[in-house]
Structure 1
Amino acid sequence: MSAAQVVVATGVRADHALLTSVAEAEFERLGVPGTVAVVSGAAELRERLAAGTPTVVLPGPAAEVRALMAVDGPHAAATVWYDIEVTGPAAVASGAVHLYGRGVWGLVWAIRHAVLRLRHPATRIAYGPHPDQYGELRLPATGGPVPVAVLLHGGFWRSVWAADLMDALAADLVARGFAAWNLEYRRPDRYGWAATTADVAAGISALSKVDTSGDAALSGLDTGTAAPALDLDRVAVLGHSAGGQLALRVAADGGRVALAVSLAGVLDLAGGDGRAIGTGAVTAALGGPRYEVPEVYAASDPMARVPIGVPQLVVQGAADDLDLIDFNRRYVAAARAAGDDVRYVEEAGDHFAVIDPSAPLWHTTMAAVAEALGVAEKIT
């Protein structure tokens, strides 16, 4: 990959020097040369898009610039459109991506997504009719059948956060010999809690219908080489933050899960409601406080569902939010007391170290996953 670029349209309400410093730091982290440019209108932006390199565009409010978001062309597959403010979903050309509402820090994730989806292409497979009902499948260049890692992103169940958060983990898992199924789902802030839980269950069930036989495109193998089959008896569901709760919920509901992995998960929903973590994220996601919708909490709260009856790995960074550390420690104690097979890992790292392939905590996690599934560990 020769280069990447961030293009900022005039009218974007952010300090350009700050955007540049954020972008340059991420370019360096990814090991890709990159530039940041400001354009005054649609004509300049068209020229930038024609370069065909991984591109993140901050379009701003101008109608002529935003109209380019839906324009098809060879540039689309390399383009991530990013609104730093909460705009809601926007229509983009086939192959392009729209992210929104993550503020200045969200530029980091937009750049990461633009680069990683070209470095490590995925096959997007729908498991339902809604645009958010899909999984991105990446397969290793190895013989099968291969174990499967289902990835459930976090973000306090809010729509501004999406499956791109797990791109780096998906690439790392494939290098370790896993099939990576990075699952998107409808978030409750737009579609309600029932839609979210139903989507996670449906997305995992859809794996049984994925036929990789004879399809080299699925794995990026040499032309004519069959992609490996999926070993559905060795499915690990790895959820980060809010996704940790979803991982344990789908395992408790009887999903085809051999190992449920919580990465800094929200594992005490009643406690999260009572302490208003994430500015009331739990209460908003579940549709009310625990005393108004107790049946929803009873079905969804990992603390209330023990014993889950599925082997679990609970991973927590020691420098994370103290309430999450408290929730995780108390959940593990409750699950073990109820008879569940739970391994607990708490090591140095913050909330995002658990999804950073370069972090020692992630390597500890994968050693435990490999051991639990009986997989020969590959060091990446």
Structure 2
Amino acid sequence: MSEVLVVVGPGVVADAALLQEIATREFATLGVSGTLVHARDASHVLSLVNGAASAVVLPGPSDEVRALIGRPLGAVVWVDVERADGVMAGAGAAHLHGRGISGLAWGIRHAVHRVRHPSRRIAYGELPDQWGELYLPGGAEGGQAVPVVVLVHGGYWRSIWAADLMEPLCADLAGRGFAVWNLEYRRPDLHGWHATTADVAAGLAALTTISEAAAALDLGKVAVVGHSAGAQLALRAAADRAAQSGALGGEARIVLAVSLAGVLDLVQGDRRRLSSGAVGSALGAPAPAPAAASAPGHPADDEAARLYAESSPLLRVPLHVRQLIVQGTADDLDLVDFSRRHARAAEEAGDDVTYVEMPADHFDVIHPGTPIWQSTARAIVSALRH
């Protein structure tokens, strides 16, 4: 591919040598050539971006530079190292934010992925975060229908993390002959828990409409795969659909739900204060008292008990859908605990469960080159091809 240009805007608070180190490392890892330039002002940024085939820009605080973010300047990846909610990038551009200085690495990866693996962005609603990226394997357009893998990203339900996290798996799974629907959704830190769950359900239901337009999706063979917090959303959505006779929009059927290092026990996730209280913050309520959580038929006036009971995969077993629970032993030990206990409880409740545990950390499960992902991919292939 053409050279990747990284532009550092005026006023960016970061060590220049560290930015260069990050960029150089990512260029080498991705096998691309690249250049990092420090821009003097907005006009300099604009001139650099206009001449670049692939650009990543750290805009910094300058109002003049930030005004460029919303302009239609092509496939620019704007990266704010600080959190910057509500920023709308221009047509064809992307905006990543709030990931600190490592956001530069994520921005370079995203820029390279977009060039190497084109996809179609399809809205399933009218709001900015209601979309997915559809990847089709070679020859799928107008040809034989192919099984579908739906990806649901994690990030502890926080808006600084987005669908770009799952892009390596998009390329890997499309290369294995699957259609891939990489789902974005409203996060509860800005929109509330019910908006998040409604969006995941709507994104899954949209497969019917997408199939009618693409004419390439086998809606009888759908796998939903979630990472970390996304695994909770994926398994909860699969359980919801199984309770509705397995239908999505009247046609598509989930035959496999996959948890990759999932947050599968929300009650203990809140009580153990995972990621500085991410669970309670996302759901908008603390976990119920032990008596309320374990009592059959939760009290009608105990909204927290109902909320956790419908949201936590461990409290939903049996899910009535085949499950693949994948966990790395070098991950957060609480997640190891959650995965083991969920797999055991689901199996004891009568679900068809495969448990895969291997030496791996939290992100190895979404890295195509790792043994744990290779084992996961083989299991997904087996489930969707038979």
Q: TM-score range by the shorter chain?
A: over 0.9
Judge conservation of contact 2:331–2:360 (CA < 8 Å) in 1. Answer: yes
Indicate whether 1:7 and 2:4 are aligned.
Answer: no
| One-letter amino acid of the counterpart of residue 244, structure 1 | A
Partner of 2:282: 285
Indicate whether 1:350 and 2:346 are aligned.
Answer: no
Judge conservation of contact 1:151–1:183 (CA < 8 Å) in 2. Answer: yes
Q: Secondary structure at the match of 2:91?
A: coil
Judge conservation of contact 1:123–1:138 (CA < 8 Å) in 2. Answer: yes
Judge conservation of contact 2:2–2:54 (CA < 8 Å) in 1. Answer: no
| Aligned mates of 1:183, 1:244 — CA distance in 2 | 13
The runs of 5 or more residues in structure 2 that have no matched partner are 242-247, 289-302
Deviations 1:115-139 (A, max 9, x none): 1012111111111110100111010
Deviations 1:68-100 (A, max 9, x none): 112224xx22x1001000111212211111111
Partner of 1:103: 100
| Aligned mates of 1:106, 1:93 — CA distance in 2 | 19
Indicate whether 1:59 and 2:70 are aligned.
Answer: no
Partner of 2:220: 233
Judge conservation of contact 2:327–2:365 (CA < 8 Å) in 1. Answer: yes
Query: Following TM superposition, by how much is the alpha carbon of 1:46 offset from its aligned partner in structure 2, in angstroms?
Result: 1.4
Map residues 133-212 of structure 1 onto 2, 5 A cutoff: 133-142=130-139, 143-211=143-211
Map residues 24-43 of structure 1 onto 2, 5 A cutoff: 24-43=24-43
Query: Following TM superposition, by how much is the alpha carbon of 1:259 offset from its aligned partner in structure 2, in angstroms?
Result: 0.4
Partner of 2:325: 314
Deviations 1:159-211 (A, max 9, x none): 00001111111111111000010000000001100010011011011000114
Q: 1:359 aligns with which of 370, 374, 384?
A: 370
| Aligned mates of 2:86, 2:102 — CA distance in 1 | 19
Q: Secondary structure at the match of 1:124?
A: strand
Q: 2:232 aligns with which of 245, 258, 269?
A: 245
| Aligned mates of 1:151, 1:63 — CA distance in 2 | 36
Indicate whether 1:265 and 2:265 are aligned.
Answer: no
Change (3 A) 1:228 1:3: farther
| Aligned mates of 1:212, 1:327 — CA distance in 2 | 38
Deviations 1:127-155 (A, max 9, x none): 11101001110101134210101000000
Judge conservation of contact 2:265–2:314 (CA < 8 Å) in 1. Answer: yes
Judge conservation of contact 1:311–1:342 (CA < 8 Å) in 2. Answer: yes
Q: Secondary structure at the match of 2:181?
A: strand
Query: Following TM superposition, by how much is the alpha carbon of 1:228 offset from its aligned partner in structure 2, in angstroms?
Result: 5.8
Q: Which moved more, 1:43-52 or 1:273-282?
A: 43-52
Query: Following TM superposition, by how much is the alpha carbon of 1:374 offset from its aligned partner in structure 2, in angstroms?
Result: 2.4
| Aligned mates of 1:145, 1:91 — CA distance in 2 | 35
Q: 1:294 aligns with which of 305, 312, 330?
A: 305
Judge conservation of contact 2:42–2:64 (CA < 8 Å) in 1. Answer: yes
Q: TM-score, normalised by structure 1?
A: 0.92
| One-letter amino acid of the counterpart of residue 240, structure 2 | D
Partner of 2:295: none
State percent identity of aligned pairs: 57
Q: Secondary structure at the match of 1:182?
A: strand
The runs of 5 or more residues in structure 1 that have no matched partner are 214-226, 376-380
CA-atom RMSD, angstroms? Answer: 1.3
Query: Following TM superposition, by how much is the alpha carbon of 1:22 offset from its aligned partner in structure 2, in angstroms?
Result: 1.2
| Aligned mates of 1:84, 1:324 — CA distance in 2 | 28
Judge conservation of contact 2:5–2:52 (CA < 8 Å) in 1. Answer: no
Query: Following TM superposition, by how much is the alpha carbon of 1:212 offset from its aligned partner in structure 2, in angstroms?
Result: 6.0
| Aligned mates of 2:52, 2:18 — CA distance in 1 | 25
| Aligned mates of 1:371, 1:321 — CA distance in 2 | 29
Partner of 1:378: none
| Aligned mates of 2:2, 2:95 — CA distance in 1 | 23
Partner of 1:129: 126
Q: Which moved more, 1:29-38 or 1:237-246?
A: 29-38
Partner of 1:47: 47
| Aligned mates of 2:306, 2:272 — CA distance in 1 | 19
Query: Following TM superposition, by how much is the alpha carbon of 1:19 offset from its aligned partner in structure 2, in angstroms?
Result: 1.4
| One-letter amino acid of the counterpart of residue 288, structure 1 | A
- The aligned length equals 359
Partner of 1:219: none
| Aligned mates of 2:112, 2:51 — CA distance in 1 | 14
Query: Following TM superposition, by how much is the alpha carbon of 1:356 offset from its aligned partner in structure 2, in angstroms?
Result: 0.6
| One-letter amino acid of the counterpart of residue 305, structure 1 | R
| Aligned mates of 1:52, 1:310 — CA distance in 2 | 47
Q: Secondary structure at the match of 1:237?
A: strand
Judge conservation of contact 1:152–1:243 (CA < 8 Å) in 2. Answer: yes
| Aligned mates of 1:72, 1:298 — CA distance in 2 | 45
Query: Following TM superposition, by how much is the alpha carbon of 1:108 offset from its aligned partner in structure 2, in angstroms?
Result: 1.5
Deviations 1:313-352 (A, max 9, x none): 0111111111111111111111111111110111121100
Q: Secondary structure at the match of 1:61?
A: coil
Q: Secondary structure at the match of 2:287?
A: coil
